[in-house]
Amino acid sequence: MTILVTGGAGYIGSHTVRALQTKGYDVIVVDNLSKGHKQAVQVPLYIGDLSDRSFLEKVFAENQIDAVIHFAALSLVGESVIRPDLYFGSNITNALSLLDVMRKYGVSQIVFSSTAAVYGEPMEVPIPESHPKQPTNPYGESKLFIEMILQRYAEAFGIRYIALRYFNAAGADPKGDIGEDHRPETHLIPLVLQAVLGQRDRLQIFGTDYPTPDGTCLRDYIHVNDLSDAHVLALEALADGASSTAYNLGNGRGFSVRKVIETAEKVTGRLVPVDEGPRRPGDPAVLVASSDRAVQELGWQPRFADLETIIATAWNWHKNNPNGFQE
């Protein structure tokens, strides 16, 4: 089976490509390399943008694609607030373009990279998939709109999809040759490790007055390889005839920013220099997933659920590749 992975040179994409290869799938990647890294991919890579229709058609014409995993998207909450035009423009139109080319070439199965940001401020924790969807930023809205488009395309055109709503992706493949390399970096665990390495003066804690036990936000950190496993399981479910649906992917436990820092200190044996700062706009106090449905229906079993293991795999990547992928 040949799987097209859009955004396969990115963080979660490149780990999923590896999981697919391990399972014996043929994989091709489409990536515009705006955020992704060529070095992260060891399969055929088409460099180009999903907004380029003739490029996309060429990829489908040259390969017998059986199913698609769609990662490629802009994914920074803060940026989406300042540039909603980019997020609505590119995330939604690129997904539409991809779906239309899939229809033209008779490809009817897609796994879609969605997000916990579709829920907005939680009314219930852990958050089940049925929770109201009230995103608080254009990034979450763009992903929710695409889920709605997928649902309509499923009804009208027979496309089947599984949307996977990630909580906080973290960690790196224990092999150590691929990992998280965002430029600029905005995510907590890599920022903590960069502070440990002296690449940043200090880690700023965004808010210490949240209604949580230690005053800092609680997040559900999920290992990138566990996310990758879920994509493979979702593809297999679709191949077995599963109906279209969405699943949360998290560990079901919330860790505070302070707990992440403390665990990083334990893992690295070094101190994390910190500053306590104001809240970051748009951050809910608590985001924790209920992933019971993914466990029951996909047979998903996280292998790296422990926070210390997650941080240790990230540390293994960062300390050996302090400057990320070498361009």
Q: What positions carry a catalytic annotation?
A: 139
In one-letter notation, the amino acid at residue 129 is E
Binder to ligand UDP among 230, 257, 288, 312 (CB under 6 A)? 257
Cβ atoms of residues 296 and 257 within 8 Å: no
- Coarse DSSP helix, strand, coil percentages of the chain, rounded to the nearest 5 percent: 40, 20, 40
Sign for the CA dihedral angle at 21, 24, 28, 30 comes to negative
Based on the shown chain and the rule CB under 6 A, indicate whether residue 27 belongs to the binding site for ligand UDP.
no
Based on the shown chain and the rule CB under 6 A, indicate whether residue 136 belongs to the binding site for ligand UDP.
no
What's the rounded Cα separation, in Å, for the pair 18 and 121? 34
Give least dist CB 180 to ligand UDP, A: 10
**Three-state DSSP class for 30?**
strand
Task: Compare residues 98 and 141 and give the one whose CB is closer to ligand UDP.
Answer: 141
Based on the shown chain and the rule CB under 6 A, indicate whether residue 253 belongs to the binding site for ligand UDP.
no
Buried b (16+ CB within 10 A) or exposed e, 198-217: eeeeebbbbbbebebeebbb
Binder to ligand UDP among 49, 79, 283, 297 (CB under 6 A)? 283
Based on the shown chain and the rule CB under 6 A, indicate whether residue 187 belongs to the binding site for ligand UDP.
yes
Task: Compare residues 18 and 219 and give the one whose CB is closer to ligand UDP.
Answer: 219
CB atoms inside a 10 Å sphere around CB 283: 15
Give least dist CB 311 to ligand UDP, A: 13
Task: Compare residues 125 and 203 and give the one whose CB is closer to ligand UDP.
Answer: 203
What's the rounded Cα separation, in Å, for the pair 38 and 34? 10
Binder to ligand UDP among 280, 297, 305, 321 (CB under 6 A)? 280
What's the rounded Cα separation, in Å, for the pair 216 and 326? 35
Based on the shown chain and the rule CB under 6 A, indicate whether residue 168 belongs to the binding site for ligand UDP.
yes
Give least dist CB 118 to ligand UDP, A: 12
Stretch of 99-107, 151-159, 176-184, 204-212 contacting ligand UDP, by CB under 6 A: 204-212
What's the rounded Cα separation, in Å, for the pair 265 and 259? 10
Based on the shown chain and the rule CB under 6 A, indicate whether residue 205 belongs to the binding site for ligand UDP.
yes
Where does this chain bind ligand UDP (CB under 6 A)? Answer: 77, 168, 186-188, 191, 203-206, 217, 219, 257, 280, 283
